[in-house]
Amino acid sequence: MVTATSFSVEAIRKEFPILATRLGDKPLVYLDNAATAQKPQVTLDAMDEFWRTSNANIHRGVHHLSQMATAQFDTARETVRRFLGARHAHECLFTKGCTEGINLVAQSYARPRLKPADEILLSTMEHHSNIVPWQLVAEQTGAIVRPIPINDDGEIDLAAYGRLLNERTKIVGLVHISNSLGTINPIKAMIAQAHAAGAVVLIDGAQAGPHLPIDVQDLDADFYTLSCHKIYAPTGMGVLYGKEALLEAMPPYHGGGDMIRTVSFEGSTFAGLPNKFEAGTPNVGGVVGLGATLKWLMALDREEVERHEAELVGYAETLLSDIPGVRLIGKARQKAAIVSFVMDTAHPHDIGTVLDAEGIAIRAGHHCCMPVMERLGVPATARASFGLYNTREEVEALARGVQKVKEIFG
Amino acid sequence: MVTATSFSVEAIRKEFPILATRLGDKPLVYLDNAATAQKPQVTLDAMDEFWRTSNANIHRGVHHLSQMATAQFDTARETVRRFLGARHAHECLFTKGCTEGINLVAQSYARPRLKPADEILLSTMEHHSNIVPWQLVAEQTGAIVRPIPINDDGEIDLAAYGRLLNERTKIVGLVHISNSLGTINPIKAMIAQAHAAGAVVLIDGAQAGPHLPIDVQDLDADFYTLSCHKIYAPTGMGVLYGKEALLEAMPPYHGGGDMIRTVSFEGSTFAGLPNKFEAGTPNVGGVVGLGATLKWLMALDREEVERHEAELVGYAETLLSDIPGVRLIGKARQKAAIVSFVMDTAHPHDIGTVLDAEGIAIRAGHHCCMPVMERLGVPATARASFGLYNTREEVEALARGVQKVKEIFG
Amino acid sequence: MSFDLRELYQEIILDHYRHPRNQREPERATAHSEGHNPLCGDKITVSVRTENGQLAEVGYHASGCAISVASASLMSEAVKGKPLGEVERLCKEFQGAVTSPDGGEFPEMGDLNALAGVREHPVRIKCATLPWHALRAALSGVDKMVTTE
Amino acid sequence: MSFDLRELYQEIILDHYRHPRNQREPERATAHSEGHNPLCGDKITVSVRTENGQLAEVGYHASGCAISVASASLMSEAVKGKPLGEVERLCKEFQGAVTSPDGGEFPEMGDLNALAGVREHPVRIKCATLPWHALRAALSGVDKMVTTE
Ligand SMILES: Cc1ncc(COP(=O)(O)O)c(C=O)c1O
Ligand SMILES: Cc1ncc(COP(=O)(O)O)c(C=O)c1O
């Protein structure tokens, strides 16, 4: 079956050196993209070039290298602004990861504001990164964390959400795309509801970044986080978007160099955005790589990328559910890039090992989402997650691998 | 003048691609190493190789790439352990920078423990990164930050330190090597004194990492931080060493993936060291680069490196103080790798611009050390800081550049 | 990458996985312990009854992969009724054997030898050792919650 | 990298740096403002006396590099005694001119043209604009503390 699309997966694959890997006599089939994505040559080149020609510390240098490094760093922030559709570049803060972004909001926005009995609503399908920071701040402030239930298909129960929202709701934390189930949540409507109740919303966009075009202004998100290594960029970086007015009203998070205006032992004053939240030397080389990656990604036809990935998901669901004893976990009507499943006779961990022997990389476990596993009554799942470079042939290899599991485990 | 040393700076220079840069008709003379150091080829190769052959998320993967990535990551931590002389690898935590390490200790160790009127002693020559986090925690807890005075040469006043220590002293924060003056502080003795008074000591080793062999057990440091990008490794990483017993007694810092044992909406339990303090996907690619860098550095004859750098400092001090109108700032008896100076007729910022036109990169400003500038009565200094690849010829170029400043400014 | 999965998933392993022996709570248990592998979600509870320096009874409840369940089952058969000193020695020997780098000779340990294949799968070693950790914790009576982080 | 430093450090700049004009607190000042460049430590206080819609007096105290001190000194000469509307226009024109990408024509602004060279030194532009920021802040009477972060 040939699909008529001008998006050429074969051309894209050539841009990712690691995809040519062979494991023994098998080609690598990388279906662990929700954990981390591979990096295109353009990203590796940008970083290498930076280290070889422009490396210096930024912002405080009068010399040539420092000016080059600063210009590249600032350009990357502007690229991030475009990627998110933010109004101002200084609303886009660099963090060390999506997880740090959420912790920053919990500690710097929520902790000084929350009072005992205030409520934080989180969906049952949140990643631990969007649960534990709120549990810590709840313990520190006396606030209460309440789960928003989901249905058996892995969709948020919107009626229950409406009932849970009330005047004590101060914060709502929602994953844009679930990393364990692939569910795309209707966050725009949910944000509007939360705002009507007077709550502030943080969207965990870790899985949305690689798969959907994002427009934080259209969504009216108060905070939005990205995990850069999942968007084909290097490790060690996240982005925290926050509305200017919210960020300005927050106390600094880390103290240190670059986030201050003046320091004396009598007291210090703080810099404006974004510096107030970026104490210390940032990951300059990584940010330059991030900028190159996002530029590359935005230059693709993202609708075609979405269509391609949706086709892979559909094909995988069809092939897998045709295999007796395989059960798909997560059947939301709106889904992206992720297929979770279990088997009657084999534990996900064993599925992972058998597939690995076939050169196929998937993930087995709770995917940092214990509450959703508990809710859906499975200890763990096997998860295949797609990137824009995956192919229908790789989906077929996955299905053959699962047949192999059946050969061994019956 | 030829020095008889088997350490070959010429050979070392060849390992750093950026050092071949020419700025117009001038060779790059990079003397801004205290801000950030350049990266050797071995580091760039290790990272590139990682992205091309082994990139995956760590710890939770059953597949081949994830196992390779995990093994490389864990090996790098063991290399860090050796670099610091720590007892256990799990006492060495990866952070996003030296600054984050200090903030982690302030928030996770100090904040829950400090009571009103408890005292935090910091030397007057601390970097803002080792002042502001303590001011923030002092404000949060009612504790008091007290400066340890320094003398006109830029050395800690040890008698005053002895007098300041008392039973209310809970924390002492000390920079191992001052980034603005180059002073090497007598931290081993100072740690022993602090311990005798019952205080816990954090050493800011940002500048010591590249220049001195470190042995945290010999020093008996409670906490010790590194800034990896200053040790010839990539940006976006720091190391926080903490004694096992202290780290174990501390609550987690960030909540998120990998730092938990179990998560449910009723409550979560936390993982052991080091995971408890490493929520979220770490900077895997960067850590692999760090490991390669430290291995490379440890394979050098570090005594010869020290001797070479000391010679550069001595030579620079001689040449610069021979120029009328130049005044050295910081004349400690124990110094490393850093020469700060001012001129009668030209502001440091203008010195920096004139040197830049000569291809010479130095730093001008307060070096994130406003209190020490205030104390020594200068608004800013010009700072030349050396790395192991700098040469006597470069010191001579610096002196010629300063002559040029005099030609313009008189 | 091409290795023989039959080496790992031997018939005896699959048999113990499908039909775990001694999977029950022993009567009048004298100690319990819970083992946890947070990386893959494996969970095991081990309960023991010691009498006169003997491990009179051992039972468990295991929820996990083939390797961890089979290891628990094989363990229960290997240690049941043995003097406590010998149980301790066996635990040590087994844990040493599976965690030793691949290539060395695996000691002669009867049916337990079926688990030798995990040495070629470093990430699966913790699955094999989890029940043994839990058993030792139950016997030592100190640490009631163990993990294999 | 090879550029003519004489273009940046013209004699007129060095002269104003060494002998800043109007560096004093004006009598009966009606407003003050403090400017700060945290990146290099430049500091300037600008004080003004406005009378009948005129900038009757302007003084400052500048501690900083040659560019910022000379810019303050040149500014004080350019704006003193001017109607406030014209001062505002001049501030805008100057700030626009030095921050516009190098290459465009620098407008004819008398002695201020000596500062055109900073356009080739992006990191030094803030030094040149700091006194002007501070002046506008003093005149607007709103923001008493400005920075050029
Ligand atoms: C002495 C000292 N401490 C702390 C820091 C902060 O290091 P980083 O910016 O890498 O977090 C620096 C570097 O600027 C330093 O020189
Ligand atoms: C939905 C979701 N949120 C948060 C995270 C955490 O991202 P990181 O580990 O990059 O901080 C992840 C990735 O594991 C994720 O999938």
* Phi, psi for residue A158 in degrees, rounded to 5: -70, -30
Q: Give me the residues of chain A with pLDDT under 70, please.
A: 1-6
Residue where one domain finishes, among candidates A298, A319, A348? A298
Give the count of domains, chain B. 2
Same domain, B274 and B332: no
Comparing C-alpha atoms, which of A354, A36, A356 is closest to residue B50? A36
Q: Which atom of ligand 1 is nearest to the CA of B228?
A: 10
Task: Let me know if residue B104 belongs to a domain.
Answer: yes
Please tell me the predicted confidence (pLDDT) of residue A175.
98
Q: Is the dihedral of CA A294, A296, A298, A302 positive or negative?
A: negative
CATH no. for residue A146?
3.40.640.10
Check whether residue B198 and residue B335 sit in a common domain: no
Which of A168, A170, A174 lies closest to A109 in space, CA to CA?
A: A170
Q: What tokens were used for B160?
A: 């005053």
Note whether residue B4 is domain-resident.
Answer: no
Closest atom, ligand 2, to C-alpha of A100: 11
DSSP code at position B122: E
Q: Are residues A81 and A182 in the same domain?
A: yes
Contact (CB, 8 A) for A385 and A337: yes
Q: Which position has the token pair 């961890």?
A: C68
Query: Is B110 in the same domain as B28?
Result: no
DSSP string, A385-406: E--TT--HHHHHHHHHHHHHHH
- Is B357 within a domain? yes
Instruction: Tell me the pTM.
Output: 0.96
Give C30 or D142, the one with higher predicted confidence: C30
Nearest ligand to the CA atom of B367 = 1
Q: Are residues A369 and A272 in the same domain?
A: no
Sequential pLDDT tens for chain B (410 residues):
444 446 899 999 999 999 999 999 999 999 999 999 999 999 999 999 999 999 999 977 889 999 999 999 999 999 999 999 999 999 999 999 999 999 999 999 999 999 999 999 999 999 999 999 999 999 999 999 999 999 999 999 999 999 999 999 999 999 999 999 999 999 999 999 999 999 999 999 999 999 999 999 999 999 999 999 999 999 999 999 999 999 999 999 999 988 988 899 999 999 999 999 999 999 999 999 999 999 999 999 999 999 999 999 999 999 999 999 999 999 999 999 999 999 999 999 999 999 999 999 999 999 999 999 999 999 999 999 999 999 999 999 999 999 999 999 99
Give the start-end residues of each E strand in A55-179: 92-95, 119-123, 144-148, 169-175
D142 pLDDT more than 70: no
Q: Are residues A258 and A138 in the same domain?
A: yes
Q: What is the pLDDT of residues D98-114, one digit of tens each?
A: 998 766 788 999 999 99
Alpha-helical regions (H) of A60-110 = 64-84, 98-104
- pLDDT at residue C9 tops 80: yes
Cα–Cα distance between C110 and C94 in angstroms, integer?
11
Mean pLDDT of C103-125: 90
C55 in Cβ contact with C31 (< 8 Å)? no
Which residue's CA is minimally distant from atom 12 of ligand 2?
Answer: A206
What separation in Å is there between the alpha carbon of A98 and the centre of ligand 1? 24
Q: Are C127 and C42 in contact (CB under 8 A)?
A: yes
- Which of C41, C44, C37, C38 is closest to C58 using CA atoms? C44
Query: Bridge-partner residues for A260, per DSSP?
Result: A270
- 3-class SS of residue B364: strand
Classify residue B26 by burial, with Cβ atoms within 10 Å: 0-12, 13-18, 19+.
middle
Whether the Cβ atoms of residue C16 and residue C48 lie closer than 8 Å to each other? no
- Would you say residue D3 has pLDDT above 90? no
A204 lies in which domain range? 45-298
User: Which residues does chain A have within 8 Å of residue C3's beta carbon, measured at their own beta carbons?
Assistant: 357
Residues B306 and B226 in one domain: no
In Å, how far is B188's CA from the nearest CA of chain A? Answer: 25
pLDDT confidence of residue D36:
85
Q: pLDDT tens for residues B201-230?
A: 999 999 999 999 999 999 999 999 999 999
Ligand 1: residue whose CA is nearest its atom 16? B179
How far apart are alpha carbons A131 and A371 in whole angstroms? 10
CB contact under 8 A, B99 and A365: no
pLDDT of residue C101: 73
Residues A145 and A244 in one domain: yes
Chain A contact set for D124 (CB, 8 A): 62
Say which of B92, B98, B228, B368 is annotated catalytic.
Answer: B368
Contact assignment for C5 to A25 by CB distance below 8 Å = no
Tens digits of residue pLDDT in C41-94: 788 999 999 999 999 999 999 999 999 999 999 999 999 999 999 999 999 999
Secondary structure (H, E, C), chain D: CCCCHHHHCCHHHHHHHHCCCCCCCCCCCCEEEEEEECCCCEEEEEEEEEECCEEEEEEEEEECCHHHHHHHHHHHHHHCCCEHHHHHHHHHHHHHHHHCCECECCCCCHHHHHHHHHHHCHHHHHHHHHHHHHHHHHHHCCCCEEECC
Q: Are B332 and B386 in contact (CB under 8 A)?
A: no
Residue A11: predicted pLDDT: 97
Query: Pick from A298, A324, A342: which residue ends a domain?
Result: A298
Question: Does some domain include residue A338?
Answer: yes
Residue A299 one-letter amino acid: A
The answer as to whether B1 is a domain residue is no
C-beta atoms of D123 and A61 within 8 A: yes
Separation CA B39–CA B36 (nearest Å): 10
Q: What residue in D sits closest to B356 (Cα-Cα)?
A: D1
Which bound ligand lies closest to the C-alpha atom of A183?
Answer: 2
- CB-ligand 2 contact for A179 (6 Å cutoff): yes
8 A C-beta contact, residue A111 and residue A140: yes
Question: How far is C69 from chain A, CA to nearest CA, in Å?
Answer: 10
Scanning every residue of chain D, which has its alpha carbon at the shortest distance from the alpha carbon of A270?
Answer: D38
Bridge partners (DSSP) listed for residue C33: C46
| Strand order, beta sheet including B200-204 | B92-95, B238-242, B223-227, B200-204, B169-175, B119-123, B144-148
Same domain, B195 and B260: yes
Confirm or reject: Cβ of A383 under 6 Å from ligand 2.
no
pLDDT digits (tens, 9 = 90+) for D60-112: 999 999 999 999 999 999 999 999 999 999 999 999 999 987 667 889 999 99
Q: Which of A298, A324, A352 delimits the end of a domain?
A: A298
Pocket test for ligand 1, best of B227, B366, B367 (most atoms within 8 A of CB): B227
Query: A40 in a domain, yes or no?
Result: no
Q: Is the Cβ–Cβ distance between C98 and C119 less than 8 Å?
A: yes
Query: Are B315 and B260 in the same domain?
Result: no
In the complex, which subunits touch D with 3 or more CB pairs below 8 angstroms? A, B
Adjacent-strand bridge partners of D31: D48
The answer to whether the Cβ–Cβ distance between C147 and B271 falls below 8 Å is yes
Same structural domain, B185 and B134: yes
Q: Does residue A319 lie within any of the structural domains?
A: yes
Q: How many angstroms separate the alpha carbon of residue A281 from the centre of ligand 1?
A: 7
**D99-D105-D110-D111 Cα dihedral, nearest 10 degrees:** 50
Query: Are A107 and A13 within one domain?
Result: no
With an 8 Å Cβ cutoff, are D124 and A61 in contact? no
The CATH number of the domain holding residue A380 is 3.90.1150.10
Q: Closest-CA residue in chain A for B66? A: A361
Nearest CA in chain A to D146: A261
pLDDT band with cut points at 50, 70 and 90 for residue C144: low
Q: Kindly tell me if the per-residue pLDDT of D147 is higher than 80.
A: no
Q: Do C1 and B64 touch (CB under 8 A)?
A: yes
Q: How far is CA C33 from CA B368, C60, C137, C142, D119, in A?
A: 53, 9, 6, 9, 72
Gap between the Cα atoms of A183 and A41, Å rounded:
30
B165 in any annotated domain? yes
How near does any CA of chain B get to the CA of D16, in Å? 12
What domains can you pick out in chain C, each with its CATH number? 3-147 (3.90.1010.10)
